[in-house]
Structure 1
Amino acid sequence: MRPSERNKVKRKLIGVAMAFAVAVTAVAGAGSAQAATPRPAGSTVHPNVDPVTVAEAIKAAYDAYKTFFGGGSSANATAQIIAAIKAAEREIINHIDAIAAADARACAQSAVLNFPDFDNLTTDNKQNFALTATSCITEIDSLLSAVTDKAAKDQLGFSLNAVGPIALMARSKAGLHNDTLVPVLRESNQKVLTGLTPRCVNLFDPDSHGKRWFCTAYNGFRADDVTQPDAQDDAMVNTSWEIAKNTLPQLASL
């Protein structure tokens, strides 16, 4: 078979397999109760952001808190979290702006924009800030359980982890314990990871003469690789799925 013919066969096989995967997903979801969602089903959010910048900022913020948790300086950790969030503040706010639920949008914006002034607050206001940031996390967690639109779930995932390290640090500095917040963050990130998991099929690839994994994200982005984890990572690179995946191990040690 000529190369051009092999490519046609390959494309046809991939198309058939992915169509089958979509059909299976649709059948599996048929008849199930649809939870209320703050954004119409089928809507797609396209914030003008650089997801890699956001992911790096969130990782740096969690790393800073982990350093403090391990005995590091509170002042240094706070400064590092502020610097990380500031480095991607516009991108993070754009993701938050894409949240349809007004309460979650407002509380996440407030946490991101006001945390740099945390040390200037009175003791009472520090505790109030910490408790409000905690309520924001629980609000987002609740929405992650309720929404069915994956684009909305994706934006909630970004906001969850923008507020996460802020809430952890604020509670610590306000004299509050985090032993109840950390499990909520773990559960919320697991919801993002589970809810946005891409569809994948394992197909024979005529070009490489072996099988490859072909994965498709909810937003239609596709990627393929020899291993399923690598194909998933490539397909989900521009979503909060990747952030949740990387955040869960960080939270496991807290």
Structure 2
Amino acid sequence: MERGPIKRRGMWRGGWRRRLLGTVTAAVLATGLAVPGTARPAQAVDAGTIIAVAQFAQAAYSYFNSAEDGGMTIEEATSRILVEIGRTRDTIMAHLDALATAEARACAEHHLLEFADIEEFPLSLKQRWAQDVTSCVTLINSLWGAVSTLTAKNQLGIALGTVGPIALVARAQARLGTTELKNLLIGAFERVQQRFVPYCHATPNVTEVYWEMNPYPSWVDAWYTCAPAPEPPYWSENIGSYTVYEMGLWSWGTPVNYNWQAVMDGSKRHSAYVVAESALTHLRA
């Protein structure tokens, strides 16, 4: 499958059709989780929740960076993050409630709720609380290697987008170092990205006889699909896919110089990939 720029139909025959088919998100039951504590089946996450967490992560990490760089105080960064939490609290809490492991669910919900009062904590309590929320981040990160399904890993990757910035700000508030935690989050999000790199394929809406009758490149309607699947083409799970149906230039059953970027971007919004991408934009800065 070749990737690259594609000449649109309008440049050839005066028209371009593009019909969005939408998204198919399948809820897949997770296998038993080999981790301590109560476990339950991981649930698929809808695209709206993932996008909301990605937007929160991007805003929260940018505020933290601004506080580190002197663009605002850590108190100002905290206040702005609290505003972002207020906007997305219900969505974030719904996602955290769906986490498959009780420990990750409990620590994430606990710190999300208590973060609103951090300004009222004395320094000694801030330090203990910052250590607790740091432990929550390391727990979520360690569970990644213990769960076996894409669905469960997706849940944990999304949760890091919520708890990560809270832990960084808490440590800054408590006058504790943030470098090691920041490096841990960078490594964790890079692993999330690698696991959910989109795998893409295309299916033309013609039979094999068509290629025998049209041996030269021609324009045909086709389905172009990308889905988070790090081991293509072995899709043991489908946590969400993105498909478009449009006219493209094909030759003998193969798309010619098709630009997959838009379809790949649509797929990323259905997994923790987009959360990791949003976080890394600022964590690497």
**Which residue is 1:177 aligned to?**
177
**Equivalent position amino acid for 1:223 in 2:** T
Distance 2:47 2:113 in 1: 19
Query: Would the aligned equivalents of 1:61 and 1:85 in 2 still touch at CA under 8 Å?
Result: no
Aligned amino acid, residue 192 of structure 1: V
3-state secondary structure, aligned to 1:145: coil
C-alpha separation between the residues in 1 aligned to 2:220 and 2:148?
Answer: 39
Q: CA deviation at 1:125?
A: 1.0
Aligned position for 2:22: none
Equivalent in the alignment of 2:53 = 54
Residues 94-133 of structure 1 correspond to what in structure 2 (within 5 A)? 94-133=94-133
Q: Give the CA deviation at 1:204.
A: 6.8
Structure 1 position 115, deviation (Å): 0.5
- Do the aligned partners of 2:49 and 2:92 also contact (CA within 8 Å) in 1? no
Task: Count residues with an aligned counterpart.
Answer: 218
Q: What residue number does 1:189 align with?
A: 189
Distance 1:178 1:186 in 2: 12
Check conservation: 1:47, 1:98, Cα contact below 8 A: no
Aligned match of 2:225: 214
SS in 2 for 1:222: strand
Distance 1:208 1:219, change over 3 A: farther
TM-aligned CA distance change 1:47 to 1:215, over 3 Å: closer
Deviation per CA, 1:7-48: give whole Å up to 9, x if none: xxxxxxxxxxxxxxxxxxxxxxxxxxx9836555xx543569
8 Å contact kept, 1:47–1:95:
no
Between structures 1 and 2, the one with greater strand share: 2
Please say which of residues 221-230 and 86-95 is displaced more in the overlay. Answer: 221-230
Aligned-pair distance for 1:157?
1.5
TM-score with structure 1 length normalisation? 0.76
Q: Which residue of 2 aligns with 1:23?
A: none
> Where does 1:69-148 land on structure 2 (aligned, <5 Å)?
69-71=68-70, 72-148=72-148
The Cα offsets for residues 192-249 of structure 1, whole Å up to 9 and x where unpaired, read as 2122223223677878569996312332423359434432220231332111122112
The 8 Å contact of residues 47 and 94 in structure 1, kept in 2 or not, is answered as no
- Partner Cα distance (2:183, 2:108) in 1: 19
Q: Which has the higher helix share?
A: 1
Shift of 1:60: 1.1
- Aligned-pair identity in percent equals 30
Contact between 1:158 and 1:240, CA under 8 Å: does it hold in 2?
A: yes
Give 3-state SS (helix, strand or coil) of 2:145's partner: helix
Match of 2:3 in 1: none
Question: 1:51-94 CA distances to partner (integer Å, 9 max, x unpaired)?
Answer: 33332222111111111011122221110111111210111111
2:273 aligned with 1:241: yes
Change beyond 3 A, Cα 1:91–1:123: same
The 2-side partners of 1:222 and 1:195 are apart by 17
Task: Give structure 2 stretches of 5+ with no counterpart.
Answer: 1-31, 207-217, 229-237, 247-257
> Matches of 2:277 and 2:56 in 1, distance apart?
15
4+ runs deviating over 4 angstroms: 37-40, 46-49, 202-213
- Indicate which of 223, 243, 248 corresponds to 2:243: 223
Q: 1:132 to 1:150 in 2, by over 3 A?
A: same
Moved more, 206-215 or 134-143: 206-215
* Root mean square deviation of aligned Cα: 2.8
Task: List runs of 5+ in structure 1 lacking aligned partners.
Answer: 1-33
Residue 10 of structure 1 corresponds to none
Structure ranking higher on relative contact order (CA contacts 8 Å, 6+ apart): 2
CA-to-partner distance for each residue in 1:131-170, whole Å, 9 max, x for gaps? 0111011111111122221111111112111011111111
The structure number with the bigger radius of gyration is 2
1:36 is matched with 34
What residue number does 2:199 align with? 199
Q: Say whether residues 1:166 and 2:166 are aligned partners.
A: yes
Instruction: Give the TM-score normalised by the residue count of structure 2.
Output: 0.68
The code of the aligned residue for 2:54 comes to A
- AA aligned opposite 2:272: S
